[in-house]
């Protein structure tokens, strides 16, 4: 893995820049509190002038990932970057004063070349204000991993400048609908490399990341019942976890408890259960006549958020202990009488969910306490925004939205700003971001 080879460099950079070691506290500082840095990424020069990356040039992928990070924004006119880059190359030196004048805080410049199945990129990143190089290194990968390389470069830039690890190397599980079929799919965090993990013509209804970040648990009708299945992230193997008659829906895996929370409907209506990842030791946590659905483990494994319509006949968010005790309602706000799809932030403090207000669904966040005063509306757009899910860094939310006319997946900063559309073809829904950063 590239990340492994990056480790010494990142360590060295960290040593060079005192006080930039990431800490847990810093994770709660959202990028929106900080003015995004303007970054110029002129096209990388290639020896033969070819565009090696199929979907956009190398520099475009890097720039898009920097934008999605929320820490960077491009020059207002990207042509300025190309012009100034040509001018610099002609003169044989970098005119930092001119880069500063056109508005750049940072400049990324690189070359790449393909040879015998390898891609080699030399990348330099400059802090324009002080005219100094903050990154200068060579990346090498096999050609099929060009995108991984571009993501790694973006992440290294984010980390070098902000001291926070980026999410460009994260992946997103989702459900891709084509005609009546819904298949399990995965893509890069910027919407690149969309690929199906299943292709059996059945209906996939829900999915979550499982053990080791290599297993995926999902609900599929492939064997004539909405069963909970497992599959490896590379699409290999496929096994059954829970095949109780009726729904085996909405899995949520917690690595601390090593248990899957899910919805099971065999008892006459939907109830929350937990079970081991092989389906053993099922434990029923809810016992009431209403629908109990969409469980979501808190990161510490102590509590489970879920949806229930037991009180009002409308779905509301609830919380309970991991063994089912202490069930209490979280959402009681007047006007928001339909709340569903809770996702809890990695620090366990904030809950994102979809709530209906004025006839449309929008993404809201609130404290784990549910207090009215902590509610924050993140989206307010014609169309329905649903299924929010936090990225592992707690700085972003992926969600589905019908704002473009069809249901598609988007990503935004955790304060609702910086929205980027990730899918465009067909119908795509239920995004689930990778819960952990890549190991290194």
Partner 1 sequence: MRSPSPALVRTLTLAVLASSVLAGCSRAPRNHWWQFWRRGAPSSVSDMDIAPGAPGSRPYGDLAGSSRLDGSLNPDVLAFDPGQLGEPEAIRSSPDGLLNLATVYFGYDSASVDSEGQRALRQNAEWIRANPGVSIRIEGHCDERGTEDYNYNLGMRRAQTVREHLTALGCDESRLHTWSWGELRPQDPGSGESAWARNRRVQFAVWTTE
Q: Residues in the site for partner 1, rule: CB under 8 A?
A: 180-182, 200-203, 205-206, 221-227, 238-240, 242-247, 249-250, 263, 265, 268-270, 279, 291, 293-294, 307, 309, 313-315, 338, 340-341, 354, 361, 386-387, 429-430
**Residue 401: which of 430, 377, 364, 432 has the closest Cα?**
430
Q: How far is the CB of 269 from partner 1 (least distance, A)?
A: 6
Q: In angstroms, what is the minimal distance from the CB of 294 to partner 1?
A: 5
Q: Terminus-to-terminus CA distance in the chain, angstroms?
A: 8
Locate 371 and state its tokens. Answer: 């207090």
For residue 142, the cross-strand partners are 118
Compute the radius of gyration of the chain from its Cα atoms.
23
What's the token pair of residue 147?
């995108």
Query: At 337, which helix (H) or strand (E)?
Result: none
| Residue 258 · residue 275 · CB < 8 Å | no
In angstroms, the CA 294 to CA 163 distance is 35
Residue 209: phi, psi to the nearest 5? -75, 140
Which residue, 148 or 387, is less far from partner 1 as judged by CB?
A: 387
Q: Rounded distance, CA 106 to CA 86, Å? A: 17
Question: d(Cα 346, Cα 114) in Å, to the nearest integer?
Answer: 39
- Closer CB to partner 1, 146 or 430, in the complex: 430
- String of b and e for 46-83 (b: at least 16 CB within 10 Å)? beeeeebbebbbbbbbbbbbbbbbbbbbbbeebebbee
Eight-state DSSP code of residue 336: -
Residue 240 CA to residue 234 CA, distance in Å, equals 17
Tokens encoding 384: 């329905």
């Amino acid at each position: 893995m590239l990340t492994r080879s990056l480790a010494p460099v990142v360590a060295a950079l960290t040593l060079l820049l005192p006080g930039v070691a990431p800490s847990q506290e810093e994770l709660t500082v959202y990028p929106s509190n900080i003015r995004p840095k303007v970054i110029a990424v002129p096209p990388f020069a290639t020896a033969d002038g070819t565009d090696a990356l199929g979907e956009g040039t190398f520099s475009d992928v890097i720039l898009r990932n920097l934008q999605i990070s929320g820490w960077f924004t491009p020059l207002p006119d990207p042509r300025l970057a190309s012009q100034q880059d040509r001018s610099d190359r002609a003169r044989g030196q970098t005119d930092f004063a001119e880069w500063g004048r056109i508005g750049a805080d940072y400049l990324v410049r690189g070359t790449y070349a393909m040879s015998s199945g390898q891609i080699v990129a030399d990348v330099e990143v400059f802090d324009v204000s002080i005219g100094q190089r903050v990154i200068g290194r060579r990346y090498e990968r096999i050609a099929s991993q060009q995108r991984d390389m571009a993501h790694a470069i973006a992440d290294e830039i984010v980390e070098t400048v902000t001291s926070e690890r980026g999410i460009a190397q994260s992946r997103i599980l989702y459900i891709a609908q084509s005609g009546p079929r819904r298949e399990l799919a995965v893509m890069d965090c910027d919407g690149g490399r969309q690929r199906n993990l299943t292709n059996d013509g059945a209906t996939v209804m829900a999915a979550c990341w499982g053990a080791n970040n290599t297993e995926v648990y999902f609900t599929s009708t492939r064997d004539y019942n909405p069963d909970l299945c497992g599959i490896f992230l590379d699409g290999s193997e496929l096994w059954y976890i829970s095949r109780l008659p009726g729904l085996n829906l909405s899995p949520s895996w917690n690595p601390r408890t090593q248990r899957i929370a899910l919805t099971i409907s065999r008892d006459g209506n939907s109830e929350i259960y937990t079970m081991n990842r092989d389906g053993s030791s099922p434990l029923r946590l809810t016992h009431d006549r209403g629908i109990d659905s969409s469980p979501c483990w808190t990161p510490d494994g102590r509590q489970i958020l879920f949806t229930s319509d037991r009180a009002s006949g409308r779905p509301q968010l609830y919380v309970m202990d991991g063994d089912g005790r202490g069930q209490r309602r979280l959402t009681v706000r007047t006007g928001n009488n339909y709340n569903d799809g809770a996702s809890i932030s990695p620090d366990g403090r904030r809950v994102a969910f979809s709530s209906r207000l004025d006839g449309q669904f929008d993404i809201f966040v609130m404290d784990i306490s549910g207090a009215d005063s902590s509610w924050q509306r993140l989206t307010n757009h014609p169309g329905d925004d649903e299924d929010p899910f936090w990225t592992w860094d707690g700085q972003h939310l992926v969600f589905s939205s019908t704002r473009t006319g069809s249901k598609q997946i988007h990503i935004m900063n955790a304060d609702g700003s910086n929205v980027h559309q990730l899918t465009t073809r067909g119908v795509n829904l239920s995004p689930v971001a990778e819960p952990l950063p890549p190991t290194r």
